[in-house]
Structure 1
Amino acid sequence: MALVREKDGKRLHVKSNLMGESLVSKEFIDQLDIAPQERLYPDVKLMKIGGQSICDRGAKALPQVLKEIVRNRADHKMVLTTGGGTRSRHIYTIGLEMGMPTGVIAKFGSMVSEQNALMIATLLSPWGGVQISHSDIVKLPTYFAENIIPVMHGMPPYDYFAIKPKVGRIPIHRTDVGLVILADLVGSKTVLFIKDENGLYTEDPKKNPDAAFIAEIGAQDLLDNGQDDLVIERPCLEIIQNSEVLDKVQIVNGLVPGNITRALNGEHVGTFIYKQ
């Protein structure tokens, strides 16, 4: 690219469409010509193992979920992420009572999610489970060539730079959001939330057993519904809607034997939330 100096002779630019732009002009961004986003690893299956729903149940739930994942190891390239669960809620409560800012509370949540990632990687170590960091994503082809199951903590790496929500100080970008951001990054076609519920309901089925099950719904429709309680974090829906490569995410009850296998094979198990 050619170098161009401004008329006043003070600044030197690389000649491009972005030359001299502030990147805050809405009109400019709308008109910017960009190539379609590449799907880096479309065949990689991304799964988040719920913290409160699976990990916190310990021996009553986690081993059977991991055994089913291991049974699928030969047929699928899988990356696991982890939630924080009850311990993250505990430290959030203490942090709020002590007046901690959102960034510190987010850091607390990252530490708990990382504990669960270490536990799961250790349990999977006989079958190639390895804990990885966010910066190791570019090494995925190497891991799969060595039959490794990468396990990564699910909290987005904002930590101290977490965005304060409009109300309160609990970070809105937590481990569900981390999975969807990762899916958008790698262009995965299979994104599974492994939880202890059959999927999305009109209300929390643990609180209202008469809540109606929703087999599939568009992300924008779900946003517009204004539903008080959701099975995944609300910002996930906006990320799905804005994504160039995400088609859908799937919520699966991992406590039902065979559900994870069916979902990995593309069957409609649980709830699909799709981009509209």
Structure 2
Amino acid sequence: MALQRDRDGKRLHVKSKLMGESLVSKRFVESLPLAPQVRLFPDVHVLKVGGQSICDRGVKALPGIIREITANKAKHKMLLTTGGGTRSRHIYAIGLELGMPTGVIAKFGSSVSEQNALLVAMLLSPWGGIKIGHDEIVKLSTYFSQGCIPVMHGMPPYDYFAIPPETGRIPIYRTDVGTILLADLIGARSCIFIKDEKGLFTDDPKKDPKATFIPEIGAKTLLDKDQDDLVVERPCLEILQRSEVLEHIQIVNGMEEGNITRALAGEHVGTRIFRE
């Protein structure tokens, strides 16, 4: 690329569409032409193993989940993430009582989510389970070519730089958000959240027996409804709406045998939240 000086002759620029532009200009960013986003791993399914819903149940849930995942290994490439669960809530509570900032609270959450990633990877180790870090995304091709099932902790790596929420100090970008960000990054074939509930309800069915099941809904519609409780972290809906590569996310009850297999096969099981 050619080098070009400013009009005052003081600064050198590499000639490009961004030369000398302000990246905070809303008008400029909106006018900037973009190539379509490349789907780096369009044949990979991203599955999140819930922390509180699955990992915390231990032997009552994880062996069945592991069996179903390994049974699908020959047909599907899978990249797993893990939630934090009850232990993350415990350390959040202690940190909040002691006045810790959002970034430290987020770092706590990462460490607990990573414990669950290690747990799931070890259970999967006879079938190629391997725990990986966020910076090992560039090695995914190697892991898949060797028949591995990579497992990564779901907390997005904001850590100490987590964005403070409008209310309180609990980070709003947690393991659900990390999972959908990962799926968007690699252009995944699907993004499946494995939980202990059928899917999305009008309220938390564990607290409200009159809550109604929602099999399918648009992300924008769900945001506009502004429900008090959701089955996934609220920012996931905004990320899905902005995604160029994800058409929907799916929430399934992993406690019911066969649901993960059906979701991997593209069947509508549980709740689908689609990009509108």
Q: TM-score band (shorter)? A: over 0.9
Is contact 1:43–1:189 with CA below 8 Å preserved after alignment?
yes
The aligned amino acid for 2:76 is H
Report the alpha carbon displacement of residue 18 of structure 1 after superposing the two structures with TM: 0.4
C-alpha separation in 2, matches of 1:144 and 1:184: 18
Cα-Cα RMSD: 0.5
Q: After superposition, what is the alpha-carbon deviation per residue over 1:205-257, rounded to whole angstroms, capped at 9, x for unaligned?
A: 00111111000000000000010000000000000001111100000000000
Report the alpha carbon displacement of residue 40 of structure 1 after superposing the two structures with TM: 0.7
Alignment partner, residue 112 of structure 1: 112
The answer for unaligned runs of 5 or more in structure 2 is none
The aligned amino acid for 1:178 is G
C-alpha separation in 2, matches of 1:189 and 1:78: 10
Number of residues of Structure 1 aligned to a counterpart in Structure 2: 276
**TM-score normalised to structure 1 length:** 0.99
Please show how residues 56-95 of structure 1 align to structure 2 within 5 Å: 56-95=56-95
Post-superposition, which runs of at least 4 consecutive aligned residues in structure 1 deviate over 3 A? none
Alignment partner, residue 126 of structure 2: 126
Bigger drift between 229-238 and 135-144 goes to: 135-144
The aligned amino acid for 2:93 is T
C-alpha separation in 2, matches of 1:91 and 1:211: 30
Alignment partner, residue 52 of structure 1: 52
C-alpha separation in 2, matches of 1:180 and 1:147: 23
Report the alpha carbon displacement of residue 167 of structure 1 after superposing the two structures with TM: 0.3
Name the SS of the counterpart of 2:188 in structure 1: coil
Report the alpha carbon displacement of residue 189 of structure 1 after superposing the two structures with TM: 2.2
C-alpha separation in 1, matches of 2:119 and 2:27: 48
Alignment partner, residue 102 of structure 1: 102
Is contact 2:190–2:246 with CA below 8 Å preserved after alignment?
no
Please show how residues 26-41 of structure 1 align to structure 2 within 5 Å: 26-41=26-41
Please show how residues 173-212 of structure 1 align to structure 2 within 5 Å: 173-212=173-212
Is contact 1:189–1:247 with CA below 8 Å preserved after alignment?
no
C-alpha separation in 2, matches of 1:34 and 1:61: 44
Report the alpha carbon displacement of residue 84 of structure 1 after superposing the two structures with TM: 0.1
C-alpha separation in 2, matches of 1:87 and 1:250: 25
Name the SS of the counterpart of 1:13 in structure 2: strand
C-alpha separation in 2, matches of 1:34 and 1:60: 48
User: Identical aligned pairs, as a percentage?
Assistant: 71
Report the alpha carbon displacement of residue 158 of structure 1 after superposing the two structures with TM: 0.4
